[in-house]
Amino acid sequence: MTIDAQRRAPLSRERVLSAAIGIADESGVASLTMRKLAERLDSEAMSLYYHVSNKEDVLDGVVDAITQEINEAVAGIDPPASPELWKPAARRRILRAREVFLKHPWAPAVFATRTTQSMQVMRYYDGLVGLMRAGGFSNDVIHHALHALGSRALGFTQELFDPGNGQAPDQDALAAMAEHLPHLVGMLAEVAHDDPGSTLGWCDDQTEFEFGLDIVLDGLDRLR
């Protein structure tokens, strides 16, 4: 152990994982490398391997840590006072979880690449199952429900459609696309016209997330 290593706080799995999240928050997952990670911890890349088995393990741990943050944020939510109230309770829970992802915009892409089960993710789903049980659902419907919600249960969705990445598309670009994408351009032109003062960007992510969530929750409620 060098003098440097003695002076600083000792490494640990937790410190490695929280440093990894810090790097991704500040400069994106692409710049999360073992060497950068070590540098942020005033250490050497090879030292990490004593606390973490490899980079995949780091990413698994990051997913676990973020979901743990969600589990803590969600722990204080009151259980529904009566079965019919499962829906607002689930809604609150999911929107609370979403707040955590808003702090880590790179996280959905990392979650998408994981193949191993995260203990914390299972804990999160366990809570949701309990909520729906209390709401009067059968285990069979709950099982389908978990699949139907997918990542939406954790507070994020895969957005493939996001014209202009949150910026209003300019009229010239729209006109150029009109020939090949008549319906889409027509839709965008009308939606833009309806909401001309929007400076928040093209689509309000929060509104859209809640819209989709409510459709699924309402549909599930009908199956109770």
Interface pick for DNA out of 23, 51, 94, 128 (rule CB under 7 A) = 51
Residue 218's binding partner out of DNA, a copy of itself, none, with CB under 5 to 8 Å set by partner kind: a copy of itself
Query: Is residue 84 part of the contact set for DNA (CB under 7 A)?
Result: no
Any idea which residue has 């009908």 for tokens? 222
Query: Is residue 1 part of the contact set for DNA (CB under 7 A)?
Result: yes
Pick the piece of the chain touching DNA (CB under 7 A) from 44-52, 69-77, 79-87, 208-216: 44-52
Interface pick for a copy of itself out of 147, 179, 196, 197 (rule CB under 8 A) = 147
Q: How far is the CB of 28 from DNA (least distance, A)?
A: 12
Compute CA 3 distance to the chain's CA centroid, rounded to the nearest angstrom. Answer: 40
What values do phi and psi take at 44, rounded to 5?
Answer: -110, 150
Query: Is residue 79 part of the contact set for a copy of itself (CB under 8 A)?
Result: no
The length of the chain in residues reads 224
Query: Is residue 211 part of the contact set for a copy of itself (CB under 8 A)?
Result: yes
> In what helix (H) or strand (E) does residue 185 lie, and over which residues does it extend?
helix 182-194
Count Cβ neighbours within 10 Å for each residue of 145-161 and write b for 16 or more, e otherwise.
beeebeebbbbbbeeee
- Judge whether 67 and 120 are in contact, CB under 8 Å: yes
Between the alpha carbon of residue 162 and those of residues 17, 55, 167, the distances in Å are: 31, 31, 9
Nearest Cα neighbor of 110 from 45, 21, 177 is 21
Query: Is residue 117 part of the contact set for a copy of itself (CB under 8 A)?
Result: yes
Interface pick for a copy of itself out of 183, 196, 197, 199 (rule CB under 8 A) = 183
Residue 5's binding partner out of a copy of itself, DNA, none, with CB under 5 to 8 Å set by partner kind: DNA
Compute CA 192 distance to the chain's CA centroid, rounded to the nearest angstrom. Answer: 28
Contact residues toward a copy of itself (CB under 8 A) are 108-109, 111-113, 115, 117, 121-123, 125-127, 129-130, 133, 139-140, 142-144, 146-151, 153-154, 157-165, 177, 180-184, 186-187, 190-191, 194, 203, 208-209, 211-212, 215-216, 218-220
